[in-house]
Structure 1
Amino acid sequence: MAVKILSDSACDLPKEILDEYNIDILPILVIKDDKEYLDGETLDPMKLYEDMRNGEVYKTAQIPPSVFEKKFEEIAKSGESTIYICFSSGLSGTYQSAVIAKEAIKEKYPDLDLEIVDSKSASVGFGLLVYKAAQMAKAGKSKEDILKTLDFYVDHIEHIFTVDDLEYLFRGGRVSRAQAIVGGLLNIKPILDIPEDGTLRPIEKVRGRNKVLKRMIKIMEERGGEADLKNQTIGINHGDDIEGAMRLKKMIEEKYGCTDFVINIIGCAIGAHSGPGTLSVFFLNEKPSQD
């Protein structure tokens, strides 16, 4: 029996990939005016970004333990060997909730065959882990082989992204009110990444959209020089800015010769914090020895 891959909506993978590889997704909660929505199910990203541009404020909440327990009980009853790859523990309590739920279900179902992997990643950076695991599962690889590859990806996945408006990072507590105001006046675009601990980290400030995209391409070279970027699957996502995403794709194609891309809109769980206009690129900083 093939290994089953389970994840949550913060992985931001396109629906066609989820369907092709039969990846189950648990939706993260998104909240506006005390009303709860399910990311990607009862709230669409386009609606979220439209509302945010009109001044609406969204918040997010982790998947409730009861949802995990229900899902894990289904897995236990089915007897499927399952890997749940989850949103970074540095950005959400999802991982801890899943671990607690697993232990609760194992008391009733000791034979539960479930591994929980902390991606220490977000959005399509996280999604590339899920995608790789699903490809391996479909090819009949063992759970042990998949987990070994996931360990490598967790250690070597790079996230480079920029936001269009510092106001959204201010709302999320990532920058001060003064930084957001000055950044808006001076057209400053921050570049951020996710370091090894899975948190969020500003790394540079660049003035203007053109310059920030060029700098992102340069950072790919600095961090991925030994990783054979040309033959990787490169992740790109956007906060309702497909034109910007395609421009970034073209720049990467021309610079590195890449041909394999996963491109998608940023879902509600991440977009509620990053806002419209965000652009991100994801890649490995080292070539997997098993590829």
Structure 2
Amino acid sequence: MRIGIVVDSACDLPLDYLQQNDIRLLPVTVRIGQAVLADHRNEQATLQFLHAHLADRGFEAETMPFSVQQIRDLFVSQLSIDYDYVFCMTITKTRSPIYENANQASFAILNDYRPVRSAAGINTPFSLRVIDTLNLFAAQGITAVEAVRLREAGEGPPKIRARLEHIALRTHGYLIPRDLNYLRARTRHRGDRSVSFLSATLGTALDIKPILHCNRGETGPVAKVKGYENAVRKLLEFAARKAAGNGNEGLLTPTVCLSYGGELAELHSLPGYETLRVACRNNNVELFESVMSLTGMVNIGKGALALGFAAEKADFEG
């Protein structure tokens, strides 16, 4: 059976990995004023857009995910021919309409694929499953990488589906914004009052950075640390301990995903990065690094860090 994997472009994985493993994209389009870019995970295009437009007016950006009709058209015209079963994994539905759009499109897809598939000489059924990863940005990459491993191991759709849904519930995403004033402006623009003026002002004045945690679609702070680099070091060293852990203290999949709102050379120079890299290498854990998606950067800000892994226990230890 030909199994396809689809993610939206908020999923932070390197473009070469997506291409090598034939992971298809649902691109998210970002508009800042008159500037428009569809995010196809091209890191150079993302960085150019970041430098030209994001710093000054990024908090005003409008993000436009694939519509129900666009998803339906992609699946019926291409994916229903290329594959027999597709897993479509999306950013958490608590932060984006992509999951709902894909879920609505799935009904039309299953009604409309037969003539197109038959014209291509394929008379077997086509199926798909839309999975809410319950997370965002770097943490979305965890389920996608696991899907690739299971497909390569020759597992069938029922086992893959059960495993991905199990992992999604236990995937932990972490975010560290660099600029709280930007984050406040962005959340207010979106109508989200979760970052108040007072907390943003005090946080900026005192250089206090929150470490945000996302699990099962819910996001909130797990620590407040003085200094961005100190917060990054604490988070990356925590992830290094998880990579080196055993049993319930360790990882459920041999994967850690990192993304950064800027050049990767800047990521590599951050404190704690080398500790995490060595821990992953010594424990046969794959470390994926990518420039953060445009969706991530317009929501969290330039210079933000995102990290994801799957584990039974993830009580943050600073």
Q: TM-score, normalised by structure 1?
A: 0.87
Partner of 1:180: 200
| TM superposition shift of 1:7 | 1.3
Moved more, 263-272 or 66-75: 66-75
**2:224 matched to 1:205?**
yes
Please tell me the residue identity of whatever aligns with 1:106: L
| TM superposition shift of 1:195 | 2.3
Moved more, 3-12 or 27-36: 27-36
Q: Does the residue aligned with 1:31 lie in a helix, a strand or coil?
A: strand
Q: Does the residue aligned with 2:302 lie in a helix, a strand or coil?
A: coil
| TM superposition shift of 1:156 | 1.2
Moved more, 179-188 or 261-270: 179-188
| TM superposition shift of 1:64 | 1.2
Q: Distance in 2 between matches of 1:253 and 1:26?
A: 30
The alpha-carbon distance between structure 1 residues 132 and 85, as it changes in their structure 2 partners (threshold 3 A), is same
Q: Deviations over 1:136-172 (max 9, x none)?
A: 2233221112112201210111112211001232123
| TM superposition shift of 1:254 | 5.2
For structure 1, the 5+ residue unaligned runs are: none
Partner of 1:63: 66
Contact 1:31 1:59 in 2 (8 A): yes
| TM superposition shift of 1:18 | 0.8
Aligned residues: 286
Partner of 1:163: 177
**2:85 matched to 1:81?**
yes
Contact 2:21 2:148 in 1 (8 A): yes
Q: Does the residue aligned with 1:194 lie in a helix, a strand or coil?
A: strand
Q: Distance in 2 between matches of 1:128 and 1:85?
A: 11
Partner of 2:100: 96
Please tell me the residue identity of whatever aligns with 1:44: A
Q: Distance in 2 between matches of 1:68 and 1:231?
A: 29
Q: Does the residue aligned with 1:91 lie in a helix, a strand or coil?
A: coil
The alpha-carbon distance between structure 1 residues 77 and 217, as it changes in their structure 2 partners (threshold 3 A), is closer
**2:295 matched to 1:269?**
yes
**2:146 matched to 1:132?**
yes
Q: Does the residue aligned with 1:82 lie in a helix, a strand or coil?
A: strand
Q: Does the residue aligned with 1:4 lie in a helix, a strand or coil?
A: strand
Contact 1:5 1:133 in 2 (8 A): yes
Q: Deviations over 1:111-147 (max 9, x none)?
A: 4411111111111210121122023223322111211
Partner of 2:117: none
For structure 2, the 5+ residue unaligned runs are: 115-124, 188-193, 314-318
Q: Does the residue aligned with 1:24 lie in a helix, a strand or coil?
A: strand
Q: TM-score, normalised by structure 2?
A: 0.80
Q: Distance in 1 between matches of 2:251 and 2:19?
A: 27
Partner of 1:286: 312
| TM superposition shift of 1:243 | 4.2
The alpha-carbon distance between structure 1 residues 171 and 113, as it changes in their structure 2 partners (threshold 3 A), is same
Partner of 2:274: 250
Q: Does the residue aligned with 1:200 lie in a helix, a strand or coil?
A: strand
Q: Does the residue aligned with 1:240 lie in a helix, a strand or coil?
A: coil
Please tell me the residue identity of whatever aligns with 2:39: D
Q: Distance in 2 between matches of 1:278 and 1:249?
A: 14
